[in-house]
Amino acid sequence: MKTPGLNNSAFADPALCQGLLHALEQKLDAPLRFMEVCGTHTVAIFRSGLRSLLPKGIEHLSGPGCPVCVTHDREIAACITLAGRDGVRIATFGDLMRVPGPEGKSLKQAKAQGAAIDIVYSPLDALQLAQQHKDEQIVFLGVGFETTAPTVAATIQMAQRKGLPNFSVLSFHKLVPPALEALLADERPTEEGGIDAFLLPGHVSTILGLEPYRFMVERYARPGVIGGFDPADILQSLLLMLEMRKKSVPAIVNQYSRAVSDTGNAHARAILFDVFAPSDALWRGIGLIPASGLVMKDSYAEYDAWKRFSLTLPDVPEVKGCTCGDILKGRRSPGQCPLFGKACTPANPVGPCMVSTEGSCAAYFKYAIGNL
């Protein structure tokens, strides 16, 4: 049998996608500015080459959709402080390793200087580390949105059931709807160049369902489409946005019904909110957003690394010249930032958008040809 080529998913079928692109061109009656708020969407749009094919008049903006990117440098500073303590072993997802803290110092560098840091693929791996290294304190770095947080919560429940004394979680999870709310509260009206519609995150929505996004329609009259990650999903989502605009009935629509149920995953949410409660959180490039983070409830306080190690967020100097805040809000494109590709590159990222491979600036830097 012939070995198939790269990216041959049925939802990336060239003929299907060409048809959808043609329909988009036909139906596009006025410029459409859409924002995605998921790093996987950012990368999917670039990697598939879709961005180079979108009809003129469709403008793609990348919002604050990568949980690693929006981890604040004060949070990274806390991680590095903790990693330096005797008897502590950090367990983390891989892509947090490269995120710069104050003075550009990352966990990768801390590891090279002797800190005990293990890359894990699941919080359950961290639990296993705790059982293997009984003489060490294992701290899992809890980063991620609603997609990841329930698994972390379930791990904390399991640690409590097992009575593991040397396991804890340093939570800086973030929540997507409060960030959207902060974005919209600060947003210009559509007719003045504001965002027309949102491509909502497929993975996060498997947990949330449609309900948490309704405020976007009710308070801000902005439509949103929960979309999948293959090119045909994204194109169909754009078509749905155009149709809603034409009928003047903004709504929250679920394009990704093969993965997302309209009501989300109630069981996962129950676990999530058994362990965590919303709290104010710092977002890199944006600042403080009310009720946009997750803090451990008192009933699980013994597994809260912030408390166990009496950690606070260190004060760090402000990064000068970084315009990530504007980029995350869709007011500036990466190419319009004076630091882009000069002082700020994937090798030496300054702001959140360049930090992770799923950040919008990193995607522009990596994939865009010329002025695309």
Partner 1 sequence: MDEPRVLLDYGSGGKAAQRLITDLFARCFANPILAAMDDAALLQGLSGQLAMSTDGYTVDPLEFPGGTIGTLAVHGTVNDVAMLGARPLYLSCAFILEEGLPMALLERIVESMGEAARSAGVHIVTGDTKVVPKGAADKMFIVTTGLGEVLSSPTPSGSRALPGDAILLSGSIGDHGLTVLSRREGLPLAADARSDSAALHHMVAALVREVGSIHTLRDPTRGGLATTLNEIAAQSGVLCNIQESAIPVRPGIMAGCAVLGLDPLYLANEGKLICVLPKNLADEALAVMRSFPEGQEAVRIGSIQAPGQYGKAGQVVLHTALGGKRLLGMLEGEQLPRIC
Whose Cβ is closer to partner 1: residue 6's or residue 185's?
A: 6
Judged by CB under 8 A, the chain residues 335 through 364 that form the site for partner 1 are: 346-347, 356-358
Q: Is 348 helix (H, G, I), strand (E, B) or coil?
A: coil
Buried b (16+ CB within 10 A) or exposed e, 50-86: bbeebeeebbbbbbbbbbbbbbbbbbbbbbbbbbeee
Using CB under 8 A as the criterion, what x/- string covers residues 45-74 for binding partner 1? Answer: -xxxxxxxx-------------xx------
Whose Cβ is closer to partner 1: residue 8's or residue 248's?
A: 8
What is the nearest approach in angstroms of partner 1 to the Cβ of residue 25? 14
* Neighbouring residues of 266: CB distance < 8 A, sequence distance ≥ 6: none
By CB under 8 A, how many residues form the interface with partner 1? 48
Interface with partner 1, residue 317, by CB under 8 A:
no
Interface with partner 1, residue 147, by CB under 8 A:
yes
- What separation, in Å, do the N-terminal and C-terminal C-alpha atoms of the chain show? 38
Whose Cβ is closer to partner 1: residue 173's or residue 222's?
A: 173
Whose Cβ is closer to partner 1: residue 20's or residue 252's?
A: 20
DSSP state of 354: H
- Residue 271 contacts residue 150 (beta carbons within 8 Å): yes
- Residue 105 contacts residue 78 (beta carbons within 8 Å): no
* Interface residue with partner 1, options 96, 138, 170, 176 (CB under 8 A): 96
| Cβ count within 10 A of residue 368 | 15
DSSP for 132-199 reads H-TTSEEEEEE---TTTHHHHHHHHHHHHHHT-TTEEEEE--B-HHHHHHHHHHTPPPGGGT---EEE
* Interface residue with partner 1, options 231, 264, 351, 352 (CB under 8 A): 231
Interface with partner 1, residue 6, by CB under 8 A:
yes
Q: Which helix (H) or strand (E) holds 33?
A: strand 32-36
Interface with partner 1, residue 133, by CB under 8 A:
no
Interface with partner 1, residue 233, by CB under 8 A:
no
Whose Cβ is closer to partner 1: residue 96's or residue 244's?
A: 96
Whose Cβ is closer to partner 1: residue 305's or residue 355's?
A: 355
* Interface residue with partner 1, options 23, 28, 119, 277 (CB under 8 A): 119
Residues that bind partner 1 (CB under 8 A): 2-8, 12, 14, 17-18, 40, 46-53, 67-68, 93-98, 119, 121, 143-145, 147-148, 203, 231, 346-347, 356-358, 365-370
